[in-house]
Amino acid sequence: MSTLEIKDLHASVTTEDGPKEILRGVNLTIRAGETHAIMGPNGSGKSTLAYAIAGHPKYETTSGEVLLDGENVLEMTVDERARAGLFLAMQYPVEVPGVSMANFLRSAATATRGEAPKLRTWVKEVKSAMSDLDIDAEFADRSVNEGFSGGEKKRHEVLQLALLNPKIAVLDETDSGLDVDALRVVSEGINRYRASGENGVLLITHYTRILNHIKPDKVHVFAGGKIVESGGPELADELEANGYVRFTGAEAASVESGLANAR
Amino acid sequence: MTTEVSGLAPELKGAKEGQGEVPIASAGERFQSFDVNAFEVPGGREENWRFTPMRRLRGLHDGTAAFDGTAAISVTETGGVTVETVGRDDSRLGEAGVPADRVAAAAWSSFREATVVSLDGTPDPVTVTVEGPGVGATAASHLQIRTTPNTEATVVVVRQGSGALADNLEVVLAEASRLTLVVTEEWADDAVHVGAEHLSIGKDATLRGTAVQLGGDLVRVSSTIRYAAPGGDAELLGLGFADGGQHLEQRLLVDHAQPNCTSNVFYKNALQTNDANDPAHTVWIGDVLIRAAAENTRTFEFNRNLVLTEHARADSVPNLEIETGEIAGAGHASTTGRFDDEQLFYLQSRGIPERDARRLVVRAFFHEILHKIKLPELRERLEEAVEAELAVTGV
Ligand SMILES: Nc1ncnc2c1ncn2[C@@H]1O[C@H](COP(=O)(O)OP(=O)(O)O)[C@@H](O)[C@H]1O
Ligand SMILES: [Mg+2]
pLDDT digits over B70-129, tens only?
A: 999 999 988 999 999 999 999 999 999 999 999 999 999 999 999 999 999 999 999 999
Mean pLDDT (whole number) for B269-279? 93
Q: How far is CA B317 from the centre of its chain?
A: 14
Question: In ligand 1, which atom is closest to the CA atom of A48?
Answer: 17
Scored b (16 or more CB within 10 A) or e, B51-90 reads: bbebeebbbbbeeebebebbbebebeeeebbeeeeeeeeb
Chosen for mutation from A94, A103, A112 (greatest number of chain B CBs closer than 10 Å) is A94
- Which residues in chain A are closer than 8 Å to B349, comparing Cβ atoms? 54-55, 78-79, 81-82, 87-88, 90
Q: Do B306 and A88 touch (CB under 8 A)?
A: no
pLDDT of residue A262: 39
The alpha carbon of A30 and the centre of ligand 1 are apart by a number of angstroms equal to: 24
Task: Give the mutation target among A9, A17, A22, A227 for probing the ligand 1 site: most ligand atoms within 8 A of CB.
Answer: A22
Looking at residue B269, its pLDDT comes to 97
**Chain A: closest CA distance from residue B305 (Å):** 12
Q: What's the CA-to-centroid distance between A91 and ligand 2, angstroms?
A: 6
Task: Express each pLDDT in B287-328 by its tens digit.
Answer: 999 999 999 999 999 999 999 989 999 999 999 999 988 999
Report which residue type is found at B337: G
Burial of B95 (0-12, 13-18, 19+ CB in 10 A): middle
Q: Which of A104-113, B247-256, B360-369 is least confident?
A: B360-369
Q: How far, in Å, is the centroid of ligand 2 from the Cα of A52?
A: 12
Q: How confident is the model at residue B25 (pLDDT cuts 50, 70, 90)?
A: low
Q: Whole-model pTM?
A: 0.81
pLDDT for position B23: 39
Mean pLDDT for chain A overall: 93
A77/B346 Cβ within 8 A: no
- Which ligand is located closest to the Cα atom of residue A22? 1
Which of B348, B352, B364 lies at the smallest CB-CB distance from A100?
A: B364
Q: Are A251 and A228 in contact (CB under 8 A)?
A: yes
**Is the Cβ pair B360, A104 closer than 8 Å?**
yes
Sign of CA dihedral A125, A131, A135, A140: positive
